[in-house]
Structure 1
Amino acid sequence: MNYAIIAAGEGSRLASEGFQLPKPMVPLCGEMMIDRLIGIFMRNQAERIRIIINENSPELEAHLLELRKDLPIDIIKKSTPSSLHSAFELLDGVAGIDAVCLTTTDTIFREEEFAEFISAFESNADLGGQMAVTSFIDDESPLFVHVNESGIITAFTDSNEMQTPYISGGIYCLRKKAIEVLGKSVRSGTSRMRNFQRQLVAEGIELKAYPFSKIVDVDHVSDIETAESFLSQEHLA
């Protein structure tokens, strides 16, 4: 499996609250978020791990360059206007990527559930994509995910008028046709990841929702404690 990490955000909210290092270097239970993700990917048969960082993260770049000596990491250094544009830089036109698991650096989940998520995607070659969803809502602007009785995604909405239990978890497995839609979406002027997800549905790409019990995003300093408590419970389970 190929993996890709969006680590190009400025982390402005964390910086305004006193955390001065790049966001991917936030420590959780003694391990940087970026290192935790890389470790999980390596334990799930990573062939390559492509990581995009912004142009103002020398500490993060130095750290990843050190890791790259021993791990199959490709680093792209480019500041982008959105996570969708970061995904485009990671995936568009890259030879040899027929399927990929893409996530942002601050998505915290249970490793056991992630391994099952990857196994489910790899065992169903007919899917155009598989997306993590969760019923745990701790997001400032959640994206609601609507599914049919088979778990196939039928719509992404900004409000929950259809009473779905699920929101997007920010972990995306995409096959070649979905990656091609990503390129087309950005070139047409789309500027948000959620609008790309809507375009996937509009173009008939079959997407399966895969429920996680809980996914935590780290956007504020207070989220660090929440994420550490969540990971501590995982280790005790």
Structure 2
Amino acid sequence: MKAVIMAGGKGTRLGQRTLDLPKPLVPVNGKPVLEHQIDNFARYGITEIWVVIGHLGEQIEQHLGDGSQYGVSIRYIREDRPLGTAGALHGMQETLGESFVLAYGDVVFDVNLGQMIDYHLAHHWLGTLAVHPNNHPYDSDVLKVGVDGTVQAIYPKNEKRDFDYRNCVNAGLFVLRSSLIAAIAPDAKQDLEKDVLTHLIAEGAIGAYKTTEYMKDMGTPDRFDKVQAHMEQGVVHAKNLSQKQKAIFLDRDGTINRYVGLVTNPDALELETFVIDALKRINDSSFLCIVVTNQPVVARNLCTEEEVDRIHDRMETLLGNEGAYVDDILYCPHHPDRGYPEENKAYKIACSCRKPGIGMVLEAAGRYNIDLSASYFIGDTTVDIQTGYNAQTTTILVGTGLGGSDDKYAIGPDYTAQHLLEAVDGILSGAFQPRSERKYVEHS
């Protein structure tokens, strides 16, 4: 498979960081963004790369040469005038083969491309977009994705949103079938998302590859500084899914949002104190942040799964507006006890996903290659502590919500904290050691 890098941007938002450099040559941790991208491509056997150049493109061509110093072959598409993120692809259908990878030149990423390509080839879509949550969804293109992975809508970053939405952002990395190029007009400036993908989304021809791997643009000074820090700390490569991941599993009610009993509509969801700061610290670390929650409101017929999704839309919107996110949300809609007149019998079943069962934890572990012995489970009930213990994670009981007063299980946590922020600080500081690093583990 071949790759295309869109490297023609001027980088005006970076200001003095670019000086007389084209944006894709700005060094991150001592190496230009383009070299980081080429290294990732080469690692997965993608050695034929086309680089689209425009503004100060001669510097890029001079720096990269023919690519032999990186173990790849590089050719160039020189734009005499800017053609946008799609226009330069016109006429390259036969050159690029059946499918190709495309990346924006200002995105720092470290992704298991073999896994992403396999996912793309297993589906019928013309294009597969790498998507993830980020800390600025309010000024990003956000996608609505169906349960089968098909992209149903795109909410552009420059349009006002007066509704709740899932933090699912187009990351600037794609696998595209070359037949898609037929939708690109000749010799015309076109935006890949607005002028090409939006129309194909309406036809159900575009899919989403959701991943927790590192993909961040460095197009503003603040974002550049964050990417630089993450590169120095080893966070970027640590999140490649070819490597074992560490996760912090979080209960929802009483841990993230205030405990008010069963939440049956978005208006009832209010974030706990210190949650934003806690999640931001997880987001800046090498840990994944995954919500695992029982939601028997569905089995009790108090709301539908679609309504639970809308509650989670509200939660992700509230978090995203403050620059925080969770990597994934898994919930169990079941309840084992039958016999109530108003119940939804289809969900009144004994299952492996309802906590303290570990079905949701195992699903996440399989999806994201998680080492459970290096991971944590944080919640406000003994049900959460029992779940974490059953999954062989390190458990932390927080004093918010029920604060362990449910007394459903006679089990003590590995650690306690007043609230989520204190728990996260204990993990990141090393004060709360994971099970994998403790020689002796005992639960009271």
Contact 2:66–2:74 (CA under 8 A) maintained in structure 1: no
Could you say if the C-alpha distance between residues 106 and 167 of structure 1 is closer, same or farther in structure 2, counting changes exceeding 3 Å?
same
Which amino acid in the other structure matches residue 81 of structure 1?
Answer: P
Match of 1:223 in 2: 223
In the alignment, the residues of structure 1 paired with residue 80 and residue 137 of structure 2 have an alpha-carbon distance, to the nearest angstrom, of: 24
Please state if 1:141 is matched with 2:143.
Answer: no
Q: 1:38 to 1:110 in 2, by over 3 A?
A: closer
Aligned to 1:100: 100
CA distance in 2, matches of 1:209, 1:134: 9
Aligned 1:71-220 pairs, distance under 5 A = 71-81=72-82, 83-84=84-85, 87-96=86-95, 97-112=97-112, 114-122=113-121, 124=122, 126-138=124-136, 141-158=139-156, 159-160=160-161, 161=163, 163-181=165-183, 183-184=184-185, 191-195=190-194, 196-202=196-202, 204-213=203-212, 214-220=214-220
The CA distance in 2 between the partners of 1:144 and 1:222, in whole Å, is 21
**Cα distance, 1:39 vs structure 2:** 1.3
Determine if contact 1:55/1:79 at 8 Å carries over to the other structure: no
Higher strand share: 1
Give the count of matched residue pairs.
Answer: 229
- 1:140, 1:81 → 2: CA distance? 27
Q: CA deviation at 1:209?
A: 0.7
Q: Deviations over 1:166-225 (max 9, x none)?
A: 1211111111332222x14x67x67433212111123x2522211132521111233222
Whole-angstrom distance in 2 between the partners of 1:209 and 1:126? 12
TM-score by length of 2: 0.47
Q: What TM-score, normalized to structure 1? A: 0.83
Partners of 2:38 and 2:17 lie apart in 1 by 26
> Unaligned 5+ residue runs, structure 1?
none
| Bigger relative contact order, structure 1 or 2 (CA pairs below 8 A, ≥6 apart) | 1
3-state SS in 2 of match to 1:118? helix
**Counterpart code for 1:52:** V
- The Cα RMSD (Å) is 2.6
The AA in structure 1 aligned to 2:87 is F
Distance 1:191 1:77 in 2: 16
Shift in Å, 1:13 = 2.2
Are residues 190 and 234 of structure 1, via their aligned partners in 2, closer, same or farther at CA, if it must alter by over 3 Å? closer
**Which SS does the other structure have where 1:109 is aligned?**
strand
SS of 1:21's equivalent in the other structure is: coil
Offset of 1:77 from its aligned partner?
Answer: 1.7
Residues 119 and 12 of structure 1: CA distance in aligned 2, closer, same or farther (over 3 Å): same
Following superposition, which runs of at least 4 residues in structure 1 exceed 6 angstroms of deviation?
A: none
Give distance in 2, aligned partners of 1:48 and 1:91: 18
Larger radius of gyration: 2
Letter in 2 for 1:48: E
